[in-house]
A and B are shown apart, each in its own frame.
Chain A
Amino acid sequence: MDGEKTTKEILKEKTPKERLPLYNPEALREIEKKFDTWKNTVVREQDRKNWEVTPHTILGSELPRELLYTPVSNPDFDYTKDLGYSGEEPYTRGIHPNMYRGRVFTMRQLSGAGSPEEVNHRLKFLLEHGATGTNLALDLATVQMFDSDEPEAKGQVATVGVPIDCVEDMEVIYKDIPLDKISASIVTHYPRNTAILFPMYLVVAERRGIPWDKLPGSVQNDFIMEEVVRSASEYIPPKDDFRIQCDNIEFLRKNVPLWNYITLNGYNLREWGTSGITEMAVAVANAIEILKEMTRRGYDVDWVAERLAFFWAPANDFFEEVARLRAVRRLWYRIMKYRFGATKSRSMWMRCHVQTSGVSLFREEPMNNVIRSAYHALAAILGGAQSLHVDSFDEAYSVPSEEASLLSLRTQQIIQAETQVTQVVDPLGGSFYVESLTNEIEVKILDEIDEIERMGSIVEAVASGWLNNKVARHIQQEQKMIADGDIKVVGMNYFRDPNLKLPEVLVHEYDENIGKQMRDKLARLRQRRDNEKASNCLNALKQACKRGDNVMDYTLECARADVTKGEMRRAFVEAFGLWKSPIYV
């Protein structure tokens, strides 16, 4: 292996040096000469003085922009090396040759809260009406791994998603749904709840006689989500959570080969509060660390990488968003090819799902949000995303209404069927501006990956508090910029209507009945099951955590023995101890 060298150093060494610039030097000289004359005689003095302007936007990169871009902005442009063709290296123009002509971007809208029975009905309803996959949102107690009868779960069972305490709940949710035909997205944000909940899904398949290698679907399983983005009362140390993330990947890759074992979630990190550069640097740095760890465990990098997927948040700065997707696609290709020596094209693909930015939406004049989200979505499509969720205009203050959800879907359909932007692959490719910005952003992302790797790795960058505090500073600074009007929000701090009326906040009222049903169900389960077996399985899990064995082999045994998610959570805490997430204000 490459020892102590950082990814940036390795890429610098291994990326082929010879280039074939597109522009002929004589033409470039001529353009430059004319450009100077034009700038000094035609351009007004004040524009010349303010040639570079730094846009201030929510979650923006603060990269300065020139007034005009020309071939001289990117004189070394090598068409084949920098862009090439769609579906071919370096994949800047897209991962598929025909992009959206071949396959329309997936329109994936997340939905569903209530009891396991209600959610089962909802999933079946959606499937009967043309949905091609299921997308399961979990309630907060389940996300945070508390049983429905623990004091922490009080008042929040079955809000914002479905509660799952044990295999029985999973059986009810997926009743009558063919698990080998319908792809299931289970939004387990964290490694620990993936390790706890996914085996319950496997046990359901097992009990129905469906082989695991026929199961299609995805989980999130991102340790940045668990250790940094979420707020929680209990954290295990980052290095242990990173290990569980990798244990899950190893188990899924070996036993459930069609499953997408991770969605590297830049989205939630950026939405929590960071620039588009940090969003991508952190997700890619995590991916690099995963591949290093899996290589260390003896696996082939192509075999591991072919099911990696990313999740990004496009926000307000339109061309920056297009450039970011193109930049990270090329960077990922370069990392896979030159840092890890991948040989299969699929493992060099930066496949991504995109959700439009929610933090960029406001409660003041909420219909303005429809326009904002449409631009976010258009940027994602011009940037070549595989799958899209458009946020609803009322998300800044409510659980999305039916009207708002439908408008989100309509936004996608209008882009797809009316604007014709999907007819031509990478339509902004070759723009002097977009190509310069793409280059600049690729460099910035790699620089920040370098900064992370110089701290040791992404695991150390989290453990030291570097990432938490970077985000805390960003959030506080951004809030000041909005309050001071340096970041303009139309209708809120810019051209605000003096008679502004804020829309009503609509939130689901809490239904205490489901909480009671779930608590009763747990009491019956603890009566019914073999408690000695359950406790032996939990002990074995704790030992495996300490020994370094793959934890999923043991959470699977727990699931088979009807151990609950809260019991497994506690076993992890007992084995690894607690860690305090460092935020300084």
Chain B
Amino acid sequence: MAHQKKIKVLLAQFPLETHSRGIITVAGMLKDAGMEVVLMGNALPEQIIETAVQEYVDVVGISTYCGGELALASDLMKAAEKEGIKERTVFLLGGIFPPGNAPKLKEIGFSDTFLAATKEEIVSSIENALVSKKSIS
């Protein structure tokens, strides 16, 4: 798939998440794949969306490990809807979380969730999701 401009990705974690090995690893993978990565670090859902708007990103990736992801991801989606970026932005979530939450996360608007994934899997997930977003809008 040919892109006119680099895919821009915002990577963030919810406020209390203390683990960052995953997000740093994924940041490196996406950069390797030619994407532009904004590594935001920890923030409230509303702050993550605010940055997504300012940076005009195509993708928001959330790294989670410590739990509470469902409640916070719902807040994230509400904020995205309020700011009007939910439809055009691809949302991904990866890390350790109860697998039973995966369908719920997709239901509220995440295009994919990962318990573990290779660089190729993440990149193709992003590209496919962007294609389907564009065909809708």
A546–B18 Cα distance when bound, in Å, is 28
Q: In the complex, are the beta carbons of A156 and B98 less than 8 A apart?
A: no
Q: In the complex, are the beta carbons of A585 and B27 less than 8 A apart?
A: yes
B24 CB–A CB distance under 8 Å = yes
Q: Mark A156-167, 1 if CB is under 8 A from B, else 0.
A: 100110000000
Q: How far is the CB of B122 from chain A (nearest CB, A)?
A: 12
A154–B44 Cα distance when bound, in Å, is 10
Among B15, B18, B68, B115, chain A packs the most CB atoms within 10 A around the CB of B15
Residues of B within 8 A of A153 (CB): 15-16
A262 CB–B CB distance under 8 Å = no
A55–B114 Cα distance when bound, in Å, is 31
Q: How far is the CB of B121 from chain A (nearest CB, A)?
A: 11
Given A156-B66, A156-B67, A509-B18 contact (CB < 8 Å): no
- What range describes how many residues of A lie at the interface? 35 or more
Q: In the complex, are the beta carbons of A505 and B24 less than 8 A apart?
A: no
> At the interface, is chain A mostly helix, strand, loop or mixed?
loop
Given A146-B15, A154-B71, A232-B27 contact (CB < 8 Å): no
Residues of B within 8 A of A143 (CB): 16, 18
Given A155-B72, A507-B98, A509-B98, A231-B66 contact (CB < 8 Å): no
Report A344-399 residues with CB < 8 Å from chain B CB: 359, 363, 397
A140 CB–B CB distance under 8 Å = yes
Partner of B118, one of A230, A272, A483, A504: A483
A47 CB–B CB distance under 8 Å = no
**Chain A residue at smallest Cβ distance from B38:** A585
Q: Mark B9-28, 1 if CB is under 8 A from A, else 0.
A: 00001011111110111011
**Chain B residue at smallest Cβ distance from A585:** B27
Residues of A within 8 A of B18 (CB): 140, 143-144, 230-232
Residues of B within 8 A of A475 (CB): 21, 24-25, 28
**Chain B residue at smallest Cβ distance from A512:** B71
**Chain A residue at smallest Cβ distance from B66:** A140
A259–B7 Cα distance when bound, in Å, is 53
B125 CB–A CB distance under 8 Å = no
- Give residues in B with beta carbon < 8 Å to A: 13, 15-21, 23-25, 27-29, 31, 37, 39, 41-44, 66-72, 75, 96-99, 115-116, 118-119
The 3 tightest CB contacts between A and B, nearest first, are: A155-B68, A476-B28, A155-B71
